[in-house]
């Protein structure tokens, strides 16, 4: 009997511990969706704000949106903002501002949006958008379109109205004639043969820039923010050329999400995450890293480029795959 009671208490405390753990995880991640205006006139526009607050070290995947919210609500444009909590720099907030419109009157449901993180999926609440029709006064009579009035308009009137255009055309003709005679009479120079330089591979260019940045000794001269900004830009430029993603326009979380299917070792992903996260903390949260952290970002950048650079074998494999696909 005592053994049974002890077992029941153990199960109770285990379930209670699991419930608290789930609650703690949920408190780390907060999602929200809101409209600037819940009603708009026909053809009017309003902003839909989708935001997620999460630990900066985690990765986040935003809901995939195309050009419509549903069959009646269209997306005009969107942009993304990133911010850090002033009281806790380890908390990051990403907000996507989506401008929407509709050309059919009615009440429409903005569906729930799903955010995917390492701690699971989180859904926003549903919203309602009302599109108001334009009232037409049918009590007033319709009138025929009036015929245009006949006005006497002579050539001199046209010249007076368009004298600036005429003067511009004459000046253009005079300048063209002057340039023609100048080019015709000037001595011809021998054409210089320019040497075509071979394109520098993206990994070599990145390593050269990293070496130049190291020689600047920016963080040693108290220019820590500039150091991490240039280091992050060099890595982002390399990612754009190596993996064909828009790394310079994306947030750190979006970059890591874009590279999720790329063939990158987990150790290299960890180095890239360290570089981008520390650069964000220095830029947005005014973090003051230790000298060892500054140097580690440089060493991780060099190692990441070396470990992920294109090799001859990679190029040959891609060409073989292309030829096999054609046959």
38 secondary structure, DSSP code: S
69 secondary structure, DSSP code: S
Q: Is the pLDDT of residue 137 over 90?
A: no
Q: Is 43 left (phi over 0), alpha (psi -120 to 50) or beta?
A: left
Sequence ranges of the chain with CATH classification 2.60.40.10: 26-132
Q: Is the pLDDT of residue 9 over 80?
A: no
The residue ranking higher by pLDDT, 139 or 208, is 208
> What is the distance between the alpha carbons of residues 131 and 298, in angstroms, rounded to a whole number?
53
189's enclosing H/E stretch is: none
DSSP three-state, residue 97: strand
DSSP strand E in the chain: where? 30-35, 39-41, 45-55, 60-61, 74-84, 91-101, 106-110, 114-117, 120-123, 127-132
The residue ranking higher by pLDDT, 264 or 134, is 264
pLDDT at 156: 84
Residue with tokens 């708009």: 40
The residue ranking higher by pLDDT, 83 or 211, is 211
Q: 151-186: per-residue pLDDT in tens? A: 777 888 888 888 899 999 999 999 999 988 888 887
Q: What are the distances in angstroms from CA 322 to CA 8, 181, 201, 316, 318? A: 62, 55, 21, 10, 6
Q: Output the average pLDDT for the chain.
A: 82
Question: Angle 257-260-264 (CA atoms, 0-180°, nearest 5)?
Answer: 130
| Domain covering 26-132, topology | Immunoglobulin-like (2.60.40)
Among 89, 23, 21, residue whose Cα is nearest residue 55: 89
- 107 contact partners, CB below 8 Å, separation of at least 6: 128, 129, 130, 131
Q: What percent of the chain has pLDDT over 70?
A: 80
Q: 39-93: per-residue pLDDT in tens? A: 999 989 999 999 988 888 888 888 888 889 888 899 999 888 877 777 777 788 8
The residue ranking higher by pLDDT, 297 or 15, is 297
Residue 63 in tokens: 């809901």
Per-residue pLDDT, averaged over 205-219, amounts to 92
Residue with tokens 């004639």: 177
- What confidence tier does 195 reach under pLDDT thresholds 50, 70, 90? low
> What is the distance between the alpha carbons of residues 257 and 253, in angstroms, rounded to a whole number?
6
pLDDT at 138: 66
pLDDT at 320: 52
């Amino acid at each position: 009997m005592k053994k049974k009671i002890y077992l029941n208490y153990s199960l109770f405390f285990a379930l209670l511990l699991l419930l608290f753990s789930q609650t703690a995880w949920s408190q780390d991640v907060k999602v929200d969706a809101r409209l600037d205006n819940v009603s708009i006139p026909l053809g009017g526009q309003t902003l839909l704000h989708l935001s997620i607050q999460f630990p900066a070290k985690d990765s986040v995947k935003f809901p995939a949106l195309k050009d419509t919210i549903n069959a009646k609500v269209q997306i005009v444009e969107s942009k993304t903002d990133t911010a850090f909590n002033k009281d806790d720099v380890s908390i990051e907030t990403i907000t996507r501002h989506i401008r929407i419109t509709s050309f059919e009157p009615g009440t429409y449901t903005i569906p729930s949006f799903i955010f995917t993180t390492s701690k699971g999926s989180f859904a926003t609440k549903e919203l309602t958008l009302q599109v108001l029709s334009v009232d037409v006064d049918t009590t007033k009579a319709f009138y025929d379109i009036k015929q245009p009035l006949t006005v006497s308009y002579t050539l001199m009137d046209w010249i007076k109205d368009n004298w600036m255009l005429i003067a511009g055309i004459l000046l253009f003709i005079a300048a063209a004639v002057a340039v023609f005679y100048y080019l015709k009479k000037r001595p011809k120079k021998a054409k210089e043969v320019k040497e075509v330089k071979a394109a520098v591979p993206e990994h070599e260019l990145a390593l050269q820039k990293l070496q130049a940045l190291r020689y600047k000794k920016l963080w040693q001269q108290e220019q820590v923010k500039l150091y991490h900004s240039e280091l992050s830009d060099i890595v982002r430029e390399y990612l754009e050329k190596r993996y064909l993603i828009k790394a310079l326009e994306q947030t750190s979380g979006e970059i890591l999400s874009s590279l999720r299917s790329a063939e990158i070792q987990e150790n290299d992903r960890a180095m890239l995450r360290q570089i981008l996260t520390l650069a964000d903390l220095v830029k947005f949260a005014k973090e003051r890293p230790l000298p060892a952290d500054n140097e580690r970002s440089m060493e991780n950048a060099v190692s990441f480029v070396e470990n992920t650079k294109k090799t001859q074998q990679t190029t040959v494999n891609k060409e073989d795959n292309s030829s096999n696909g054609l046959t």
